[in-house]
């Protein structure tokens, strides 16, 4: 048995004027609770240090860059890494990354139990728009502020297991899990910020959004025989509601624990990485059962999307 006790550290809303240092204080409280609960690894949401700023239209590049981290760790986030090391706890953290040569990514890192960063991921599937549209009920401008990730979906051998990362909208894409599954991933860590209502389909409210969250995470876990830990930033942020529903799903696709609130809340589960092996060796033995000669369309650039009426 290779046991990793994971704490999903859901964050409640972070308002636009809430300084990063205050958010870090909230995160440290969750880290201490996680330690009390025996956690080996803590998972924070996407863009965990600030409000979900891509909902705001900005033109001024200095204002835009103020939402980004130029290095990780930095003065404000170093306490997270130090506390993780003191607790002997790994960490997944999502944040907006501004590289030294001026590139903007929606990124995450995984640090090991010494607090050292061992892996970095940059969000591939950026939802939303690049331009402001006054007709939309609310804006989701990720394509305006971020470039698509350029690192693919690697996995990392650390903490006695094989770990992968993705971010929010990535979880809706089977390819995300499959690329990691083909590398033997045993635990996928992912953070998200999901509005409670689909701005392009008013029928899609919180219940359906929670359903799709569970559906995509459970399917990804089962079909690749991996643990998935999905963690929200939730609640009413800057006046806009976001779903909670953070969850830890086992390699059979079953939910082991799910958040009950839309506030700062810890969900904890002792995950056995060896529980991934049965599925990987039987129904999802990719080497024996896959039929890649039939999957060419997956790699084509366009699919057949019905035209708008
Ligand atoms: N941050 C996100 O990627 N949010 C998307 C919303 C816009 C659909 C998501 O997939 O949850």
* Tokens matching residue 257: 């624990």
192 CA to centre of ligand 1 in angstroms: 7
Residue 57 belongs to domain with CATH number: 3.60.110.10
Atom in ligand 1 nearest the alpha carbon of residue 52: 1
82 CA to centre of ligand 1 in angstroms: 31
What is the residue with the minimal CA distance to atom 4 of ligand 1? 194
Atom in ligand 1 nearest the alpha carbon of residue 125: 3
Q: Assess whether pLDDT exceeds 80 at residue 306.
A: no
pLDDT of residue 308: 76
**What is the band of 298 on the pLDDT scale with cuts at 50, 70, 90?**
confident
Atom in ligand 1 nearest the alpha carbon of residue 47: 1
277 CA to centre of ligand 1 in angstroms: 31
Collapsed DSSP state (helix, strand, coil) of residue 3: strand
Q: Which of 168, 186, 237, 262 is catalytic?
A: 168
Q: Let me know if 82 is a catalytic residue.
A: no
Q: Is residue 81 domain-resident?
A: yes
Round to whole Å and give the CA distance between 148 and 125.
Answer: 7
Q: Assess whether pLDDT exceeds 90 at residue 271.
A: yes
User: Which has the closest alpha carbon to 220: 189, 197, 193?
Assistant: 189
**What is the band of 176 on the pLDDT scale with cuts at 50, 70, 90?**
very high
**What is the band of 136 on the pLDDT scale with cuts at 50, 70, 90?**
confident
Collapsed DSSP state (helix, strand, coil) of residue 205: coil
**What is the band of 241 on the pLDDT scale with cuts at 50, 70, 90?**
very high
**What is the band of 15 on the pLDDT scale with cuts at 50, 70, 90?**
very high
- Residue 185: which domain range? 3-299
User: Which has the closest alpha carbon to 49: 85, 3, 14, 100?
Assistant: 14
Q: Distance of alpha carbon 76 from its chain centroid, rounded?
A: 21
Q: Is residue 308 domain-resident?
A: no
Structural domain total, the chain = 1
**What is the band of 96 on the pLDDT scale with cuts at 50, 70, 90?**
very high
Q: Assess whether pLDDT exceeds 90 at residue 309.
A: no
- Residue predicted with more confidence, 46 or 139: 46
pLDDT of residue 300: 81
Percent of the chain, pLDDT > 90? 91
Q: Is residue 306 domain-resident?
A: no
Residues 178-201, mean pLDDT to the nearest whole number: 95
The whole-model pTM stands at 0.97
Q: Which of 35, 69, 97, 123 is catalytic?
A: 123
Q: Is residue 181 domain-resident?
A: yes
Q: Is residue 307 domain-resident?
A: no
User: Which has the closest alpha carbon to 23: 103, 128, 94?
Assistant: 94
Residues 251-279, mean pLDDT to the nearest whole number: 98
* Tokens matching residue 264: 């700062």
pLDDT of residue 203: 86
Cβ-contact 21, 50 below 8 angstroms: no
Average pLDDT, the chain: 96
Residues 166-184, mean pLDDT to the nearest whole number: 98
Q: Let me know if 168 is a catalytic residue.
A: yes
pLDDT of residue 202: 82
Q: Let me know if 46 is a catalytic residue.
A: yes
Q: Assess whether pLDDT exceeds 90 at residue 244.
A: yes
**What is the band of 201 on the pLDDT scale with cuts at 50, 70, 90?**
confident
Cβ-contact 248, 256 below 8 angstroms: yes
How far, in Å, are 144, 147, 160, 237, 274 from residue 99 at the CA level? Answer: 17, 12, 30, 27, 37
DSSP state, residue 126: -
């Amino acid at each position: 048995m290779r046991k990793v006790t994971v704490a999903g550290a859901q964050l409640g809303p972070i308002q636009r004027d809430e300084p990063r240092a205050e958010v870090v204080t909230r995160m440290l409280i969750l880290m201490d609770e996680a330690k009390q609960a025996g956690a080996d690894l803590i998972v924070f949401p996407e863009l965990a240090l600030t409000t979900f700023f891509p909902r705001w239209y900005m033109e001024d590049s200095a204002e835009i860059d103020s939402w980004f981290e130029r290095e990780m760790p930095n003065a404000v986030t170093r306490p997270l890494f130090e506390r993780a090391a003191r607790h002997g706890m790994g960490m997944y953290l999502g944040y907006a990354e501004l590289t030294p040569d001026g590139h903007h990514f929606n990124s995450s890192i995984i640090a090991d139990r010494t607090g050292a960063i061992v892996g970095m991921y940059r969000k591939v599937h950026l939802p939303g728009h690049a331009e402001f549209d006054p007709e939309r009920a609310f804006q989701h401008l990720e394509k305006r502020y971020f470039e698509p990730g350029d690192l693919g979906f690697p996995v990392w051998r650390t903490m006695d297991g094989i770990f992968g990362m993705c971010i929010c909208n990535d979880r809706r894409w089977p390819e995300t899990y499959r690329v990691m599954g083909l590398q033997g991933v045993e635990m996928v860590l992912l953070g998200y910020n999901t509005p409670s209502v689909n701005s392009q389909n008013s029928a899609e409210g919180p219940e359906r959004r929670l359903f799709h969250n569970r559906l995509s995470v459970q399917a990804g876990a089962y079909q690749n025989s991996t643990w998935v830990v999905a963690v929200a930033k939730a609640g009413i942020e800057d006046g806009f509601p976001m779903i909670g529903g953070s969850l830890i799903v086992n390699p059979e696709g079953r939910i082991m624990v799910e958040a009950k609130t839309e506030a700062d809340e810890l969900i904890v589960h002792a995950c056995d990485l060896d529980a991934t092996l049965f599925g990987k060796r039987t129904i999802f033995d990719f080497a024996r059962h896959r039929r890649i000669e039939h999957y060419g369309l997956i790699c084509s650039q366009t699919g057949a999307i019905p035209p708008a009426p």
